Amino acid sequence: MCDNCASYGRVLEERKARPREVIVAKDVFVAQDYARIVSSGLSAKGLTVADAAKKFFINEGYLKQISLGERKPDTKVAAKLEKELGITLLAETLPEATKEKAVAKEKNFSNAITLGDIALIKRK
């Protein structure tokens, strides 16, 4: 508060700044065969997609796309499905096969010439 404004009131109590808790985000990955895992979890519990969607408060179309493998679940939905169905969808490390593909892709394109390297752009 500035000096001019301070003359209009008095301090009731001094507020101490609380130390904030630092939350470290972990890299969490959804299993590659998530559709099979979710489908088997639903059948093990004896639930249809519609029943599970209502029970778990997930959009029915979204859950159907997940169970068919058309759409990958985000981490919140995957965590909810893990809890409710008793399955494992999330892992903290990237699967080895995916790591190898990423390294191979990086090696293939690291020295490649692109159109941006060759083209000259005329500007007015």
Give CA–CA dist 21/23, Å, rounded.
6
**pTM beyond 0.85, yes or no:** no
Give me the percent of the chain exceeding a pLDDT of 70.
Answer: 67
When pLDDT is averaged across residues 13-37 and rounded to a whole number, the result is: 76
Give CA–CA dist 30/92, Å, rounded.
9
Domain chopping of the chain, boundaries: 29-101
Superfamily of domain 29-101: lambda repressor-like DNA-binding domains (1.10.260.40)
Please, what is the average pLDDT of the chain? 79
When pLDDT is averaged across residues 25-29 and rounded to a whole number, the result is: 71
Q: For position 78, what pLDDT does the model report?
A: 92
Torsional sign, CA 104, 107, 108, 109: positive
Give CA–CA dist 38/70, Å, rounded.
13
pLDDT at 117 over 70: no
Cβ contact 90:31 at 8 Å:
yes
Q: What are phi and psi of 101, to 5 degrees?
A: -65, -40
Q: For position 18, what pLDDT does the model report?
A: 74
pLDDT at 114 over 70: no
Give me the percent of the chain exceeding a pLDDT of 90.
Answer: 42
